[in-house]
Amino acid sequence: MAGADSPTAALQRRDLCARGIRLAGKMRADVVNLLDAYAERQGLDASASVAAVEGVPPAAVERWDEQTGTQRLLENLAAYRAFRALLAQMLEEHREQLGEADAALGRALAAVLLQVSAFAYHLEELLRLESRGPRGDEEEEEEDGPPPRPHGLFEQKLRGLGVLRELAQWAVRSARDLRQLAKPSPAAGSATGPAESP
C-alpha cells in the first residue's frame, strides 16, 4: 500500500478529479437540455413531481459530508453503471417507437449515454487509484442484467423523465464528491468532509 499517499498518487488523484469535475459539468449541462427536450417531446411537465422510479438510483443522500472517498466513488460508480443501462434501454425504446422521426432527440440521448459511459470509466480509474492495486471485486460487480422495462408507453415516458432528472442531480453530486476527494487528506479512504459538521 506504499504508493497510495505518494506525491505521484496525490497528483494523479487531483488531476483525475479535476477532469472528472469538468466532465460532470458538461454532462449536467447536456442532461438538463435533454431533459427539457425530452419532456416537451413526450408531452410531460419537466418540473412535475415524479415518484421514485424503480431501478433509477436516487442521488439523494444523508450525511453526505461524512462519507469516505471510497464510499463516494463506489456509490457514484454504481449509479453511473445503472444509468448506462437505463439510457441504453431508453435509446432502444426511442428507436423502436420513433425510428428516424425524432433523430435529434435520439442523437442527444446517444451523446449523453456516451458521456455517462465515459464518466463511469473515469470513476473506475479513480477507484483503481484509491484501491492502490489491480481491479478489486467491487469493480467487477457491475452486471446485474438489464433493468426491468416499464410495461406501458406512459410508464416508459415517466421513467425516462425520472432517469434524466436523477442523472442531472447525480452530475451535480459527482462534481461535489470529486471536489471532496481532491482535497488533501491524511489517508486515502478517510472522510474528507468540511471541518465542521452541519
Partner 1 sequence: DVHMQYERVGADVTMKCGSMDWDAAVTWTVNGTDIDESHLNGSYLILKNVSVMQSGQYFCYEGSSWHLKYQTYLSVGTPPKEPVLMCRSNNYPKGFYCSWHLPTPTYIPNFFNISVIHGTKEMVCEKDAVPKNRCHIRYLQLFSTVKYKVTLTVTNALGKNFTTLTFDEFAIVKPDPPESVVAKPVPNNPRRLEVSWQNPSSWPDPESFPLKFFLRYRPLILDQWQHVELSDGTSHTITDAYAGKEYIIQVAAKDNDIGTWSDWSVAVHATPWTEEPKHLTTEAQITETTSASTSSFMAPPTTKICDKGAVVGSGAVAVCWTAGLVMAAYSVLFI
Helix axes 153-182, 69-98, angle to 10 degrees: 150
- Asked if 180 touches partner 1 (CB under 8 A), the answer is yes
Interface pick for partner 1 out of 34, 59, 105, 112 (rule CB under 8 A): 59
Residue 65 binding partner 1, by CB under 8 A: yes
Q: Which of 13, 16, 23, 28 binds partner 1 (CB under 8 A)?
A: 28
Q: Which of 19, 25, 41, 191 binds partner 1 (CB under 8 A)?
A: 25
189 binds partner 1 (CB under 8 A): no
Pick one of 5, 138, 179, 185: the residue that binds partner 1 (CB under 8 A).
Answer: 179
- Side chain identity at 26, as an amino acid letter? K
**Site for partner 1 contains 130 (CB under 8 A):** no
The residue (of 84 and 179) whose beta carbon lies closer to partner 1 is: 179
Interface size with partner 1, residues (CB under 8 A) = 25
C-alpha cell at 90: 431508453
Residue 18 binds to partner 1 (criterion: CB under 8 A) = no
Tell me if 64 contacts partner 1 by CB under 8 A. yes
Q: Which is nearer to partner 1, 60 or 111 (CB)?
A: 60
Lookup: cell for 31? 442532461
Cell of 104: 435529434
Tell me the C-alpha distance between 106 and 34, whole Å. 10
**Residue type for position 53:** V
Which residue, 75 or 93, is less far from partner 1 as judged by CB?
75
For residue 127, state whether it binds partner 1 (rule: CB under 8 A): no
Minimum CB distance to partner 1, residue 95 (Å):
27
Q: State in Å, rounded, how far the first CA of the chain is from the last one.
A: 33
Paired with 191 in beta bridges are: 68
Of 70, 51, 53, 71, the residue nearest 61 (C-alpha): 71
24-28 long-range Cβ contacts below 8 angstroms, 24+ apart: 24/119, 24/171, 24/172, 24/174, 24/175, 24/178, 25/171, 25/175, 26/115, 27/112, 27/115, 27/116, 27/119, 27/171, 28/168, 28/171, 28/172, 28/175
Q: Does 196 bind partner 1 (CB under 8 A)?
A: yes
- The residues of the shown chain that bind partner 1, judged by CB under 8 A, are 25, 28, 49-50, 58-62, 64-65, 165-166, 169-170, 172-173, 175-176, 179-180, 183, 194, 196, 198
